[in-house]
Copies of this chain bind each other. A is one copy, B any other.
């Protein structure tokens, strides 16, 4: 049974003080439903990914709140920190395949409202996605944990801080072409100053954001019957590993991601050379490099060489279109949306938002930033890599 994505909807990402989380969920969901050319009553069930409405807003048990605002009578929530909504998509895919019902339509939503914070600073709430008893309790936060990874990467390889910053420059450039992005401002190397957690500068970090993203999923067969524009969800898989960095076998290997990636490549009988575009989890610039390695575009410890294909970094902003990396002589577009770094990172929304960028690229709906890919992928990470979801999508025509 081949699955198809027939609708996408996404709010602007940013500090959205004038909207509450229900406004955001409604906005992205209604856009996806309209975009799919269906009605809410055609939807059989809904999966929602959200990290922590409980501590941001006091609300657990989100599923029946979604029922209340959307009228869908079967809603299931999943949580996997920043990978929550890609996991929700995996669960939706399972439901369709398990049902053997080719006419099933499922809405998948991811959202986070991070500027409201009932139970303390946002950084503390987010830190709960690392190991509480050993990392949080000793004062670790995500900038600190990723700084450990970045410091070790710079120590073990010949990568430099400028290679990290280049990721940010590229992703900000791409966000200039994405009207839903939070930061639409070009950066230069000189802008990266002021350590947040050495070696990470403020601009190596993705922002705290509000936002919601929604997808409509069904089967390819039904997508054709409906006459919908669609993209094929070829495969999606989830992997998990030890939550705490101290217990990883290799500190710099996202082995949850590698496991999910290897499973998908094997099932589809393809590899990194077949992929034209990927949205990866650049919560901190170092993680774009680690993701590229985990997805097989470079050997472990050599991902920074991919970044260097953009050199001289001063030239990244010269073109009014996304700049590709060169991987073994082939162009690879990464984070054309602007990535978490510049599009914004409302954690529960990120997984679905990555899928949306790939869908819209495959359907040629991205305007100036369209890069005409044939095969796209997403790699969504939870925490410091405790959870990872990898997906591959192809145009449906």
A binding-site residues for B, Cβ under 8 Å: 51-52, 54-55, 57-68, 72-81, 87, 90-91, 93-99, 119, 128-133, 136, 238-244, 247, 256, 259, 382-383, 386-387
Contacts and interface: CB of A to CB of B under 8 A. Distances in A.
A331 to B, nearest CB: 33
Q: What copy number does this chain have within its complex?
A: 2
A132 B59 CA distance: 6
A27 B177 CA distance: 53
B386 A61 contact: yes
A243 to B, nearest CB: 4
Closest 5 CB pairs of A and B: A64-B386, A97-B98, A64-B243, A61-B129, A61-B81
Q: Specify which of A60, A64, A97, A240 lies most central, judged by the most chain B CB atoms within 10 Å of its CB.
A: A64
Given A64-B241, A98-B93, A243-B65, A132 B58 contact: yes
Nearest to A92: B94
A98 B101 CA distance: 11
Given A55-B54, A132-B58, A242 B77 contact: no
Nearest to A67: B240
7 contacts: A60-B79, A60-B129, A61-B129, A63-B382, A72-B240, A74-B240, A78-B78
A133 B116 CA distance: 13
A71 to B, nearest CB: 9
Contacts of A63: 80, 240, 382, 386-387
Nearest to A59: B132
Q: Specify which of A63, A75, A132, A136 lies most central, judged by the most chain B CB atoms within 10 Å of its CB.
A: A63
Given A55-B119, A87-B76, A61 B382 contact: yes
Given A67-B242, A242-B64, A386-B61, A76 B73 contact: no
B238 A59 contact: no
